Structure 1
Amino acid sequence: MIKEELKLKEALIIEGGNKLKGVLEVSGAKNAALPNMAATLLTDEEVVIDNIPDLLDIETMKNLLNTIGVQINHIKDKAYSFKLNEVKSLKAPYELVSKMRASILVLGPMLAKFGYAEVSLPGGCSIGTRPVDLHLKALEKMGAEITIEHGYIKASAPKGLKGAHIFFDKITVTGTENIMMAATLAEGKTIIENAALEPEVVDLAVMLRKMGANIKGEGTHRIEIEGVKSLKGTYHRVIPDRIEAGTFAVLSALTGGNIVIKNYPSHYLEYVNEVLENIGIHIVKISESEVVVKRDDILKPVNIETREYPLFPTDLQAQFMTLLCFANGVSEITENI
C-alpha cells in the first residue's frame, strides 16, 4: 500500500528491525572536496584530486568550473583531473549558485587569477545582512572593488590583490577558505585572524602548499599567506568525511550491529568520540584506520551544545537527537551555530 502511494514520488522505504553488519567505508569529505576543486582555478597546470565523493553538490561544482573553462576528466574510481584550458566565462550564474551556497568559493580564486569575477548571491537579490559580507569586506581590504547589481557580486582587481591584515568578526569556514585562496596570488603578506580551525580548512592549505603556495598557521586562529607569482599542478587526496563517519558510528550503535568502519578519522572526532563514550558507546580501533562500535546495554543521557570545531558539529545534531531518544533519561541539545 505504501509503495503504491509513493510510486510517483521520490522516497526512501526502510524495513527496520534488523541488526546491521558488514563494512562501511567513509567517503571523502564534501566540505573539503569543494574548496579543493575551486582551488584548481588558481593554476594553468593539471591538478588531480582523489577521493572525491559522488554527491549532487560535487556535480554542481564540476558544472560551475566547466562553465568557467576548467576541463574535468574522470581518471579512475574517485579521482578526477582538472585543467584550466581556456577561460570561457568569468560569471558564476544563478542557475548553478542557487543549487549550492558553497559556489561562493570560486569568487576568491577567480578574482586572484583573472582580476575579475561575477558570482550570483546564493539567495539572488536579497536585502539585509548576507553571510557572504565577511568574504566581501575581506576582499575589499585586499584592494578589490565590489558592487552588487541585480543579485550578482561584481568584483574587480585590475592591478591585482594586495596582502592585508584580515580580522573576521565571526568565524567563517568558507570565508577563511576564500581569502586563503585569494591571498596565494596576492602581492605581499596576508594575515587572517579569527580563522576557522576545521580540518577542511587545513586540508585546503595542505593542497595549496603542494601547488607552491606559502602558507603557515592552518589549524590555528591565525593563518599567514605570502603571495607568490603563480601556482603549479599537483596530486591531492581528500580527507575522510568526519560527519559521515560520526553518522556511521551512531547508526551502528542504534542497531546494535557489528559494523566495521573504514577510514574513520578519529583525530578529527576526538570531542564527538568523548560524547559517545559518555553516552555508553565505545569506538574501538582494530587497525590504524578501522574501528568497530560497541555499546552498553543502557545508554546514558547527555547535554550537548553545538560549537565550531573542535567541539560538537551542528551537522551531527540530528543523528545524536535520534540516538538520545533511546537513552535512559532526559538529554538536552542546544544549537549555537
Structure 2
Amino acid sequence: MDYFVINGGKKLSGEIEVRGSKNAAAKEPCVISNVPLIEDIYRLLEIIESMGAEVEWVGERKVKITAKDIDVEKIDYELVKKIRLSVLLLGSLSARFEKFELANPGGCKIGKRPLGTHFHALEELGVNVTQDEKFYLVDASERKNAKIILREFSVTATEIAMMLAAGMPGKTVIKIAAAEPHVEDLGKFLIRMGAKIKGLGTHTLEIEGTR
C-alpha cells in the first residue's frame, strides 16, 4: 500500500496556481481565466450554450461567457445527464428563473454522494425542488434571503447556495459553509459581479446579493 511520510514543524511558503471556477451563468459578460481543460468543463459550456449563451475561447485557458439572454427551456437535457457538475446550475438558474426543469445529473459515480444537503440549502432559501425519475422540478418563485445552516461541509451545496444568494437582493447567511480554495474562487468571482461577501475562507458566509 502506498503512503506519504510527512515531517512537519516547518513554515510553509511558495505559490500555487488556483484554477478558475467551473461555473458561470451571470447576466453580464465575464471572462474566466485558468479554466481547467477537462471534459466536464467542455460539457458544462455546451450546456450553457444550449440555453443561448455565447461562449468564446479568448486564450488557451481563458473563456468569455455572455449569458444575458438565455432560455432555460432550451437546455440540452442529454448533456445535463452526462455530467454531475450540472447540479451546480440549480443555484444560478434559481436566481434567474421562477420555474424550470433540470435533468437528473449524470457523470462519475463516487460512492453514493447524495444531494440531500444541496436540496436542503435551496429549500431554506425558498426554492422547492421535487424529483421524478428523469427530472428535478424547480419552483423558485418564492426564493428569499435567510440564515441557513448546511447539514454538512459540502462544497457543491455551499456553491449552489452562494450563487442563489448572490442573485437575490438582501443578505443571506450560510453557516457550516465549505471553505476550500475553489469556494473562495467562486466568492471572488461573485464579488466581481457585484455581490458583497464576507467570511471567505471561513465556515460562515454573509452574502448581500444583487439582481
Q: 2-side partners of 1:192 and 1:226: how far apart?
A: 11
Partner of 2:154: 172
- In structure 2, the residue matched to 1:42 is 26
Query: Which string of whole-angstrom CA distances, capped at 9 and with x for unpartnered residues, describes residues 64-89 of structure 1?
Result: 11112211011122211100143233
Q: d(CA) in 2 for partners of 1:134 and 1:92? A: 24
Structure 1 stretches of 4+ with a deviation exceeding 6 A read none
CA shift for structure 1 position 148: 0.9
Q: TM-score, normalised by structure 1?
A: 0.53
TM-score by length of 2: 0.82
Pair 203,123 (structure 1): closer, same or farther in 2 beyond 3 Å: closer
| Structure 1 residue corresponding to 2:87, chosen from 100, 104, 109 | 104
Residue 7 of structure 2 is aligned to residue 33 of structure 1: no
- Does residue 64 (structure 1) correspond to residue 52 (structure 2)? The answer is no
Contact preservation (8 Å) 2:18, 2:181: no
Give the one of 95, 100, 110 matched to 1:117.
100
Percent of aligned positions that are identical: 36
Contact 2:194 2:209 in 1 (8 A): no
1:122 is displaced (CA, Å) by: 2.5
1:151 to 121, 131, 134: 134
Return the match for 2:116 from 125, 133, 137: 133
- 115-124 or 183-192, which deviates more: 115-124
Q: What amino acid maps onto 2:168 in structure 1?
A: A
Choose from 53, 71, 75 the match for 2:58. 75
- Tell me the alpha carbon deviations over residues 28-84 of structure 1, each in whole angstroms, 9 at most, x when there is no partner: 63xx5313xx3xx232x2101112122111111111111122110111222111001
Letter in 2 for 1:33: S
Query: Partners of 1:166 and 1:91 in 2: how far apart?
Result: 32
Shift of 1:193: 0.7
Question: Equivalents in 2 of 1:221, 1:85: separation in Å?
Answer: 32
Aligned pair partner of 1:189 in 152, 155, 171: 171
Unpaired segments of 5 or more residues in structure 2?
1-15
CA gap 1:112/1:78 in 2 versus in 1, 3 angstroms: same
Alpha-carbon distance in structure 2 between the residues aligned to 1:191 and 1:198:
18
**Change over 3 Å in CA distance of 1:211–1:123 after alignment to 2:** closer
Identify, as 1 or 2, the structure richer in helix: 1
Say whether the 8 Å CA contact 1:91–1:118 is kept in structure 2: no
Greater CA radius of gyration, 1 or 2?
Answer: 1
Is contact 1:100–1:122 with CA below 8 Å preserved after alignment? yes
Match of 1:219 among 201, 204, 209: 201
User: Structure 1, unaligned stretches of length 5 or more?
Assistant: 1-25, 230-337
